[in-house]
Structure 1
């Protein structure tokens, strides 16, 4: 048992028609004996996870970790997700803002920083059929991935909602040169109030918080993707100094950078390693859209 836990990660390519709406479909296989494996996830877009085996326990932000559900779903986050999982197989499906607009009628800010039982919550009804696929006995992982893809394609005839504006806003948020809300307003041609309503509805947070979250995640991604870097070398250019970054790190992750670096990351590290190994074969033309959320924040 000394070689436990063992963590395996497998990514599956979604059909091209689905790629504007989802970040990635992946399977995390955890072998931990009778123990629990603990990690912290960074702020990210909406996610859904379907578990074969005991569901995880988790907390978004400070507070006690509580039991989750076999199909756990949540909106976008602006705080770390602290979670523990035992021996299980967890299928993850990330939902981009355009996907939220297409598939979910509930405003994103109404479900930001919370998790719900996706099998019963009406907002996630289009995805409730995925859990039976995951639990189907006798199907291989590749077959399950294909069935999930087919299920999503059957849902994809829903009308697109403000898709071009959402894509434009997301691209601007990814631009490391943009750090001011006024620039978003000018580029998108929206008033301050319209932009705030738009961002809260489809992205989950105000434009100011989204820009802060983006520069933080760019810095964290740079650090995680290059183990040789020190924090000072990974800082996004939008930060005035290291002290500002430390304050932001504490606000988003609930700890300091040094405290985070000292923690083991048995789940996140294998996900990033595997996705980087697969990137040459699976990345699309901009090399980003099929990456897990944290890897998508870094831009050359």
Structure 2
């Protein structure tokens, strides 16, 4: 398995966490779970003309090879093929909105072919990438085209950006929302509308997902640490049942069933 990443400079750095490229050859088609992380990925499959994915409720989706995984609060299933070659964009929380155009809460737990948004330009982008011999060239082409394909102005509402920075802090509590509202000087209702539009989540749900992600990061950094309870308490869960409830809600697994795929991000888990 080969994985490369690239952090775009300049204007895109405010919206995109990184571009990524992956290629692999599998001896068997092993499906995997992808867990929610509070963000959005745009994916371009460079091998298949149609991509198979599945929802947490086992609904099979057949997507065009350029598609978006909207903001999820449940896992979804990646149906791998024997040969995989994929490039993608991992947006920062709230960063996908100018390029998707839809209010992101309309794409909550949704995967959508990008020709519904970009029309024929989605397929044209894939064709351009297929003509390039190296992933470095693909990254640079993707950078240039993404700037051109934005469907909304490249700006972020300052209230949403402020809230993301504060809600994303380790051990942030959901009751911080009122504090944020007091700081930004807009109504609670307007703040919730803006936050859902640009991130796809309510602030409370986003905070829960970020806390869940903090647990996964801690677990993978402490490879020899098997005490999930200690990690959960360190990350702000008030008891074991609270932690297990969130873990099951977001992953469909119990903590003891969580096994990451070697060489992959901690959100990619053996099915």
**Shared fold per TM-score greater than 0.5:** yes
Distance 1:228 1:126 in 2: 47
**1:78 counterpart = 2:86:** no
Instruction: Please report how far the alpha carbon of residue 90 of structure 1 lies from its aligned counterpart in structure 2 after TM superposition.
Output: 0.9
TM superposition shift of 1:200: 1.2
Q: Is 1:233 paired with 2:230?
A: yes
Number of the residue aligned with 1:39:
32
Q: SS at the partner of 2:193?
A: helix
For structure 1, the residue ranges without an aligned partner over 5 or more in a row are: 1-6, 274-293, 295-300
SS in structure 1 opposite 2:18? strand
Partner in structure 1 of residue 17 of structure 2: 23
Q: CA distance change for structure 1 residues 251 and 228 in 2, over 3 Å: closer, same or farther?
A: same
Does the 8 Å contact 2:166/2:172 carry over to 1? yes
TM-score of the superposition, structure 1-length normalised? Answer: 0.78
C-alpha displacement of 1:46: 1.2
| TM-score between the two structures when normalised by the length of structure 2 | 0.85
Q: Give the total of aligned pairs.
A: 260
Which whole-Å CA distance do the structure 2 matches of 1:160 and 1:145 have between them?
Answer: 20
Residue in 2 aligned with 1:215? 211
CA distances 1:150-206 after superposition (whole Å, capped 9, x unpaired): 222344695234442232121012112421232332333332211211121111111
Q: Distance in 1 between matches of 2:149 and 2:198?
A: 19
Choose from 133, 137, 149 the match for 1:143: 137
Match 1:196 to one of 174, 192, 195:
192
Going from structure 1 to structure 2, the CA distance change for 1:13 and 1:178 (only over 3 Å counts) comes to closer
Q: Contact between 2:55 and 2:77, CA under 8 Å: does it hold in 1?
A: yes
Closer, same or farther: CA 220–228 of 1 in aligned 2, 3 Å: same
- 8 Å Cα contact 2:54-2:79 kept in structure 1: no
The answer on whether the counterparts of 1:62 and 1:254 sit within 8 Å (CA) in structure 2 is no
TM-aligned CA distance change 1:13 to 1:227, over 3 Å: same
Check whether the contact 1:68–1:117 (CA below 8 A) recurs between aligned residues. yes
Distance 1:187 1:81, change over 3 A: farther
* Structure-1 residue corresponding to 2:52: 57
How big is the alpha-carbon RMSD for the aligned residues of Structure 1 and Structure 2? 2.5
Mapping for residues 8-19 of structure 1, pairs under 5 Å:
8-19=2-13
3-state DSSP of counterpart to 2:79: strand
Asked if 1 retains the 8 angstrom alpha-carbon contact of 2:36 and 2:73, the reply is yes
Q: Aligned partners of 1:101 and 1:66: how far apart in 2?
A: 23
